[in-house]
Amino acid sequence: MKKWMAGLGLGVLALGGVLAVRTATFAPAGVSDGSQIKVAPAPAFDLASAANHLGAAVRFLTVSNQDPAENKAEEWSKLQAWLQATYPQAHAAMQRRLIGQTMLYTWPGSDPAAQPIILMAHQDVVPVTPGTEQDWKHPPFSGEIAEGAVWGRGSIDDKGSLVALFEALEALAASGFHPKRTIILVSGHDEEVGGTGAEAAAKVLADEKVRALFAIDEGGLITTDTPIVNGPALMIGVAEKGYVTLKVTAPAEGGHSSAPPKETGVINLSRALIAISDNPFPVELRGPGASMLDAFGARAGGMTKVAIANRWLFAPLLKAQATKSPASAAMFHTTIAPTMLGGSPKENVLPQSAYGLVNYRIAPWDSSAKVLERARASVKGMPVTVDFTERKPREPTPVSSSTSEGWNLIAAAALADRPGTPVSPYLVVAGTDSRSMAGVADDVYRFQAIALDTGEIKIIHGTNEHMTLTNLESLIRFYARLVATAAG
């Protein structure tokens, strides 16, 4: 017994030693901070004028409705004409092409051997939910400047970035800047309903044999209350999840509701949807989510750092923590969300067919084929069918490097105002136009240099969307520095 206890004690000591050494020497693998980059200064610009310009951009009703027939095409034309009038020096420096309503600009660089860079921001916005207009502190399309912010739909997503890009390019052009790298700006017209405009622009660039150093779009940001580090962090999106919707159909005999059979189409459909939801994809500590944990773990202290540095032992604990909120859990697995139902056209009629739609956001290590396979396995033996909807599945994007020249340029430009802030890769769980650029850029990144806390993020696509003047200034300075550093 004494020998056994002594052996156990030695084992515990050895384990403690391993944990201590791994924790003390832990550093995130494959994540750099751009510290070797010398960042060019941003030229002077007028923030008050920029705020007025963003307010004006908000007032154009470039709303992408689910039914395209409800869109007001003339609003896109008005916005584009306004951009030309408002930013004359940027337009004098750049060549402008329209692909439908999508804008493709090129500012030729002096070095034809240098890879270009691609800057992105879309023109369209989501609708305001009918009946919620009175919940806004300032009318949703007023573009009012109040309380130190520009208010209105699209002020962040994504007219904030569009205006900030033009403010930066206008200031650079006015300062006499001449790029060595070619600068390409892509502004899609329908990002909120699929992004066909960005796809068309990417095809044009591919046909022209463009191979950019990087593309940058919306998607990541500066979170001010980041878990683990308990403070701000630069979250640079290196990939985004795929998207697919499955249709689950339960055929039935139908008939009068006064004499229902034991099992109706609705009952069978309900059981099938529950079976699919009760068979979730496993949480996995891999991909951009795992890289994020490593980046933050290097800055953490106490048992948090011990756990992250020794994932081999503490993986179950880390997974439990990662799934405490839906937002964090979404970064570590493919999500399943039943969203729509259909059945009888009348309350007293049994449907001959009931259906449900299940939306999936696919993790980088999964695929639409795996989604379909898993759903069908979940309902095996049930009187239902499971198939893709008419909408083509969108696979997860490639994962971009977090040590490349493009990454370092973006990180350095973002850190110029925030030295010492942790920089982390990030998995974008929604979709952006940037996914279309994977074929024409070495790396694709998603980042807006605006600071928001967890509660404030909810205003994107929500009520009271607004861009603070502090964030607007940060965004303009970031884009100006990035362009001046990358292309100068």
What are the catalytic residues?
Answer: 124, 191
Amino acid in position 29: A
Asked if 148 contacts 466 with a C-beta cutoff of 8 angstroms, the reply is no
Cβ atoms of 308 and 297 within 8 Å: the answer is yes
Give the pair of three-digit tokens for residue 58. Answer: 């908000």
Contact 442, 404 (CB under 8 A): yes
The C-alpha atoms of residue 246 and residue 356 are separated, in whole angstroms, by 8
The tokens for 42 are 């941003």
Render 177-233 in DSSP notation, one character per residue: ---SS-EEEEE-S-GGGT-HHHHHHHHHHHHTT--EEEEEESS--EEEEETTTTEEE
Chain position carrying tokens 């898993």: 374
| Residue 73: CB atoms within 10 Å | 11
Close Cβ partners of 451 (under 8 Å, ≥ 6 residues apart)? 221, 222, 223, 224, 232, 470, 471, 474
Residue whose token pair is 């896109």: 76
Give the Cα separation of 255 and 441 in Å (integer).
Answer: 57
